[in-house]
Structure 1
Amino acid sequence: MLNVLGQVLIYVVPFLLVLTIVVTIHELGHFLVARAFKVKVDRFSIGFGRAVLSRTDRHGIEWRLGWLPLGGYVKFSGDLDSSAVPDQAGLDDLRQEIVAEQGAGAEKAYFYFKPIWQRALITAAGPFANFVLAITIFTVLFSALGVSVVPARVAEVFPDSAASRAGFQVDDRVIKVGGREISDFRDVGQFVALSSGSPLDFVVLRNGHEITLTATPVRTVRDDPISGPVRVGYLGLGWNPRPGEVAYIHYPPHKALGQAVMQTGDILGTTLTYLGRIVTGKESGDLLSGPLGIAKAAGGVTKRAAAATTDRGLQLANVSLMLIQFAAIVSIGIGFLNLLPIPVLDGGHLLFYGYEAVARRPVPANVQEVGYRVGLALLVGLMLFATWNDLQKLSLFKFLGGLAS
């Protein structure tokens, strides 16, 4: 019983905490821009389900804390279905209802009767808030704690590997990969991980001379200490910094902001690259994770941070810092996911608003219905695929097979 409770504390609690913060910030983005445009709001909720705490302010907005901590939501007045965009007939009916109850002109305070550009900004504000959260976290961390930089100096070349066949040697220093300058060995790992089966050009510094080597990473299963077994590109290089090689850079706030923006852009770029390789059949997609994978990663981050020291105070500080960094990455992922042009997501709403701006009328109801069915099927399919990946990494099927044998 105590072991189960411990697993819940390690995996479930950090996951719920990170998810609730990230989703709440997402919804707060929608809310703040909506209020800036004087949109009438009924409720802002942190969590779902029956209210544990509730208060209504002078603007008539109910601030609620739900008992189920799985994110949150904002409910605009007249918004019967937050996943839909009313067609012309629906707008006319809603306008008549509002005018009949509150008088002529009252509909102007409702979301659906705001100009298209305002609705688009309100919709885009959720994902934008996620990116701002990530940038803010990275800025604070880069400024307050600094960034460790480890030169990409080769400490070992494993025999019979892609690296040995390409001609890498010990003490080679990688300075470019695929035409991009490299300042840290972790950047090399990122390129290699997402390039299995694709030749990569490496520029290395050897005895003061630049040499170009071409190597093709091989897809292999690696046991990541946080996310579990994953199939990624493998080159066969070992990294082991010498004393004094690790540098810590503390950026002033304005430069930290620039680095944070670049970091966020790099994560988005890596995500797009990976999805592109999935579409073209170059990757299997097993790095995609659903709620189970995120929970496992949150638990892995917690355990790794706590194991770094035995001092309780330092453990708490380490766990907090690691979870804050993890929240930044999850926030970028949720922001990106919501911008996909799938009708049930913010990106789908923006797509509909684009049509409305060109056609000067909302998308017809029958077209929306088909779009939402297809979009929901795509989203459910993606979640099922990601959950399958999570179960595979958790080795659940091997466990069940062992029980059945």
Structure 2
Amino acid sequence: MEFFISLMNKIWAVMPFLIAITILVFVHEWGHFWVARRNGVKVDVFSIGFGKELFGWTDKLGTRWRISLLPLGGYVKFVGDADASSARSDSDLINTLSEEEKSQTLHSKTPLQRIAVSVAGPGANYVFAILLLAAMTLWNGVPKNYHLSVQDVLVGKIADKAGILKGDIIVKLNHQELNKKSDFVSVISSHSGQDISITVKRIEEEKAVEKSFDVPLYSIVNGEKVKEKLGVVVSQMPGEMEKASLLESFSHAFKFTWNLSVQMLKGIGELIVGKSQEVGGIFSIGAMAKQSFSLGIQSFLMFLVIISINLGLVNLLPVPVLDGGNILFATIEMIIKKPIPEKTQEFFFKIGLALILTLMLYTNYADLVRFEFFGWIKSLFFKG
């Protein structure tokens, strides 16, 4: 019985992630599907998940709708495609098709039509995010101000030792007021290895009180200072809210989407040049999904907005295998006015695939280190 309860708890823990990934993948692939059909492209498969089909059905136009074994993504496969990325055509298969069937392949369409199909997936993620955020803003209003809330304190880290608690509101750093997460990160980074004063607002005996802590962003090892991270998870939370009109709601949604996209691009740039190592893989996304779900429906919907924007932006990067790679190839074809040779496409496809797989391995390894997975494995075999 105890094992069954433990198993159910583990299944329940991953449910928010599975719900989120299913919704966002469906939105993304629906964008490709919808625009493809309107451009006369036949869709062979619309799959949520990868691998073996668990169940599915075929519609009257011949598309196989399927739910597959590994719920970590999805794809639409068009007739004549060599793979689910739609980056390459299957020449041998296309040669067996009738002229009418050939005209229904994606690769028989004009470069502009192929660009439209490729843009439609990321575009659908952006539209979904903007509509959802605008609806939430219309319902809740727009924040008049923000505050920084401590969402989690890592056990044994500097903040924990200093006495900072989950739920504290950070109001000052070094006696300087702040309410933006970017300001918090900037001040903490600029004082790495130094002492810093942190003032928080906390509810004690039903009263809001302010407490200040002198926190060293270092530890002493063998008589020498060693830089350490603060060890808190901080979120920028809305304070007072005021009603918003429909126009204001969409304006807020567009501004948020634009600003987040710019921040993400800067983060990707810093990662490429080695200025940043803060990356998260599937385990980080799962942890965020679980945390946002536990905080309530509003928090989970906001998580969907952020991840949908992330998914849309990443897929627009000009990397073969991604939608952005397909857009790049079609754009080059428009410029040189002839198709790019299949061998050239296949060469860059392999490079793109290698880059994506390497990034996935790196981000997920970083997650396992962050969540102390290897330490846990070690403890199973080397107790005491």
**Residue equivalent to 1:361:** 338
Task: State which drifts further: 273-282 or 36-45.
Answer: 273-282
**Residue equivalent to 2:229:** 221
**Residue equivalent to 1:9:** 12
Tell me the CA shift for residue 130 of structure 1: 1.0
**Residue equivalent to 2:251:** 258
Where do 1:121-160 residues align within 5 Å?
121-150=116-145
Secondary structure in structure 2 of the residue aligned to 1:388: helix
| Partner amino acid, structure 2, of 1:221 | K
Secondary structure in structure 2 of the residue aligned to 1:109: coil
Tell me the CA shift for residue 293 of structure 1: 1.3
Summarize the Cα distance change of 1:382–1:274 in structure 2 as closer, same or farther, 3 Å threshold: same
Task: State which drifts further: 41-50 or 367-376.
Answer: 41-50
Summarize the Cα distance change of 1:193–1:58 in structure 2 as closer, same or farther, 3 Å threshold: farther
Secondary structure in structure 1 of the residue aligned to 2:283: helix
Mapped partners of 1:385, 1:130: distance in 2: 25
Tell me the CA shift for residue 292 of structure 1: 1.2
Q: Is 1:64 aligned with 2:48?
A: no
Tell me the CA shift for residue 190 of structure 1: 6.1
Give percent identity, aligned residues only. 32
Tell me the CA shift for residue 94 of structure 1: 5.4
Summarize the Cα distance change of 1:277–1:51 in structure 2 as closer, same or farther, 3 Å threshold: closer
Contact 1:226 1:296 in 2 (8 A): no
| Partner amino acid, structure 2, of 1:24 | F
Contact 2:87 2:349 in 1 (8 A): no
Mapped partners of 1:191, 1:85: distance in 2: 41
Where do 1:59-208 residues align within 5 Å?
59-83=61-85, 85-86=87-88, 96-99=95-98, 104-150=99-145, 170=175, 185-186=180-181, 188-189=183-184
TM norm structure 1: 0.71
Tell me the CA shift for residue 45 of structure 1: 2.4
| Partner amino acid, structure 2, of 1:393 | R
Contact 1:226 1:300 in 2 (8 A): no
Summarize the Cα distance change of 1:278–1:248 in structure 2 as closer, same or farther, 3 Å threshold: same
Tell me the CA shift for residue 295 of structure 1: 1.0
Contact 2:107 2:114 in 1 (8 A): yes
Secondary structure in structure 2 of the residue aligned to 1:83: coil
| Partner amino acid, structure 2, of 1:98 | L
Q: Is 1:375 aligned with 2:374?
A: no
Tell me the CA shift for residue 49 of structure 1: 4.1
Secondary structure in structure 1 of the residue aligned to 2:97: helix
Mapped partners of 1:106, 1:402: distance in 2: 59
Secondary structure in structure 1 of the residue aligned to 2:96: helix
Contact 1:151 1:173 in 2 (8 A): no
Mapped partners of 1:370, 1:385: distance in 2: 23
Mapped partners of 1:63, 1:74: distance in 2: 9
**Residue equivalent to 1:291:** 282
Secondary structure in structure 2 of the residue aligned to 1:348: helix
Q: How many residues align?
A: 326
Contact 1:47 1:65 in 2 (8 A): yes
Mapped partners of 2:139, 2:324: distance in 1: 35
TM norm structure 2: 0.74
| Structure 2 spans left out of the alignment, 5+ residues | 149-158, 160-171, 193-216, 219-226
RMSD: 3.3
**Residue equivalent to 2:43:** 41
| Partner amino acid, structure 2, of 1:376 | L
Q: Is 1:23 aligned with 2:25?
A: yes
Mapped partners of 1:225, 1:141: distance in 2: 24
Contact 1:226 1:297 in 2 (8 A): no
Contact 2:87 2:320 in 1 (8 A): no
Summarize the Cα distance change of 1:143–1:7 in structure 2 as closer, same or farther, 3 Å threshold: same
Mapped partners of 1:168, 1:5: distance in 2: 43
Summarize the Cα distance change of 1:138–1:151 in structure 2 as closer, same or farther, 3 Å threshold: closer
Contact 1:289 1:386 in 2 (8 A): yes
**Residue equivalent to 1:32:** 34
Summarize the Cα distance change of 1:95–1:63 in structure 2 as closer, same or farther, 3 Å threshold: closer
**Residue equivalent to 1:397:** 374
Secondary structure in structure 1 of the residue aligned to 2:77: strand
Deviations, residues 182-232 of structure 1 (Å, cap 9, x unaligned): xx53453366578888xxxxxxxxxxxxxxxxxxx99852434499xxxxx
